[in-house]
Amino acid sequence: MKVLISDSLSPRGIEILKGASLEVDVRTGMKPEELKTCIGEYHGLVIRSATKVTSDIIGAAANLRVIGRAGSGLDNVDKAAATKKGIVVMNTPGGNTITTAEHTIALMFALARQIPQATASMKAFKWEKKRFMGVELYLKTIGIVGIGNIGKQVATRVLALGMNVIGYDPYLSDENAKEMGIEKVDLPDLFRRSDFITFHTPITTETRNLVNRQTIQEMKDGVRIINCARGGIVNETDLYEALKSGKVAGAAIDVFEKEPPVDNPLLSLDNVICTPHLGAATEEAQENVAVAIAEQVVDYLVNGVIRNAVNFPSVPADQILKLKPYLTLAERLGSFASQVFEGAVTEITIEYRGEAAALNTAPVNIALLKGFLATILEETVNFVNAPIIAKERGIAVKEMKSPDGGDYQSMLVLRVKVDGKENTVGGTLLGKTDPRIVRINDFPVEIVPEGNMLFMYNNDRPGVIGNIGSYLGKNRINIARMHFGRESAGGMAISVVSIDAPVSQTQLEDIRKIPNILSVRVVNL
C-alpha cells in the first residue's frame, strides 16, 4: 500500500511508515490540481495544515482509506465528503496542549514587560528604560475563557505565579473548578474583574466576536488580552480602536481571522505583540504529532485498527454498516442537545428503545458523547477521547435499554441533567437510515438534524410563524424547513427553522425582539 506525505513531517514519522513496509512518497508544496491528479494511487494521506483536502480531491481519491493530520485542527479537511466516501479521518489530539499553554504564558510575560518592544528599541541602539515600564503578574487576576485541556494547563501555570484565577466555561461544574483552584464566574463578571484575559475556546456562533466594542467596554481600563485559540474570537477592528484609545493596554495575538494578516492595522500598533500562529510550533510537539499520526496510519492500514478518528469509532469492520446510521443519529442528538441545553452538565443518560436495544451500544454511546462535547470544547473531541473528557468534567454517563420502542420501531432518547434539571431529546431513523429528532422535552416534533437552524421557545399565538418567516425573507435568508411543536393550544411552543445561511449576531438580536418569541438559539449540525 502507498502513503503520500504532502506536508513537512518529522523524519521519525516517515521512518515509522516505511518500517511497516508501506511505500511512502514525500511530495510537499503541491498545488491542488497536482494533488488531485496523483491522489488516486494512494491508500493513505498524511498532512499538516498546508494541504487542503477538498471534496474535489476526495472525489478523485479512488483508493484512499485514511487521511492522517499531524496535529489537532481539521479545518483543511472536508470531513463530510471523506465520511461519505468511507475514508477515515484521524488527528493527534493533545499533541499541542502543553506547547500552546506554554506559548500563552510566554506571550503573557512578554506583554506584561513589553519585551519585544524593548528588544526592538535596543537593536535600534536606544536605551529607553522609562519607556518600557512593565507590570507584575503576582496577585493580578487572570480570566481564562474556556477550561479545556489547554485552559487547564494555563491555569496550573498561572496559579504557580501567584495570580488569582477566574474562569468561564458554561460546561464546567463548580466542583471541578474548585478542584483546579479556579473561581468559576460568568462572562460579564470575568470581563469586569480581569487584569489579563486569555481565550481557549473553539470558534462557534456563540464565540465569534466574543470580544467586541460592547464587551470591551465592560472590561477594566488597562486590561491586557491574549488570544492563542482561534482567529475571529476577537473582533480585530474593535480591538484596534480599544488599543488606540488606551482602554486595552496591550494585546498578544497568535491567531488572526485572516492568515497571514495582510494589511491588518493591529500590526501597526506598538502595544500589540504577535506571532505567526506558533501555538503548536515547537520541535517536541511537531515530533510528537508526527510519530503519533504515523503509528495511527500504520495501525489502520496494516492492522485494521482505528485510533483517534474523528469520523469513525473503533468498531469491527463487519459491524460498521449496521451501526453507522445509529452512530450518525447519536452524534447529531448529542450535538443538538449541547447547543440547546446550555449549563453545567452533571449527568447524561442514553436510553435505547425497540430494535436499538439489541445494538452493540458502546460505540453509539461514544458517538453521542463526541457530538455533545465537540461543539462546546476547544480541544479536538473524537471517538477515543470523548469518554475520558466526559469523566474529567465530572459528567456521569449512564445507559438504559428497553425492548419497547413505543410509537417507533427503534429510538434513542438522550437525557441531560443540566444545573439539576433534566432535559430530553429523542430520535429515530426514517427508513432505517435517515436520522430524525422526534421529541424535545414534552414537545413532539419531526426535525431533520442537519445544517443551520434557529431553535426558539415561543408562545403559541397567531402570527409568530409569519413574523419569523417575514423577517428572514426581508433579510434574504432562505428557509429550508420549519418544524413546530406545542404542549397545548395557546401554551408554550417550540419552533425550529432550518436556514440556508447562518444569521449574524445583529439578526439574532432582532429575532429575539419578535413578539411572543421567548428565546432563540443558533444550532449548527
Look at residue 170 in the predicted model and tell me its pLDDT: 86
Q: In this structure, are 328 and 376 located in the same domain?
A: yes
Q: Are residues 351 and 439 in the same domain?
A: yes
* Distances from the Cα of 201 to the Cα of 1, 103, 169, angstroms: 38, 16, 9
Range of the domain at 126: 97-274
Mean pLDDT, the chain, as a whole number?
A: 92
Domain identity same for 323 and 435: yes
Residues 169 and 52 grouped into a single domain: no
**Whether residue 69 sits in one domain with residue 15:** yes
Among all residues, which ones are annotated catalytic? 230, 259, 277
pLDDT of amino acid 522: 92
Q: For residue range 482-525, list pLDDT tens digits in order.
A: 988 888 888 899 999 999 988 998 999 999 999 999 999 999 98
Q: CATH number, domain at 392?
A: 3.30.1330.90
CATH number of the CATH domain containing 458: 3.30.70.260
- Both 60 and 184 in a single domain? no
Q: What is the pLDDT of residue 132?
A: 95
pLDDT, average across residues 320-340: 90
Our count of domains for the chain comes to 4
Check residue 317 and give its pLDDT: 54
pLDDT in tens, 165-224: 999 998 888 888 999 999 999 999 999 999 999 999 988 888 999 999 999 999 999 999
CATH classification at residue 8: 3.40.50.720
Angle between helix 149-160 and 97-113 (nearest 10): 50
Judgement on whether residues 469 and 406 belong to the same structural domain of the protein: no
Whole-structure pTM value: 0.71
Same domain, 254 and 124: yes
Residues 438 and 484 in one domain: no
186 in the same domain as 133: yes
* 372: CB partners within 8 A, 6+ apart: 334, 335, 337, 338, 348, 416
DSSP, res 414:
E
Residue type for position 186: D
The confidence band for 406, taking pLDDT boundaries of 50, 70 and 90, is confident
Do 199 and 267 lie in a common domain? yes
Residue 315's pLDDT is: 66
- Asked whether residue 394 carries a pLDDT value surpassing 70, the answer given is yes
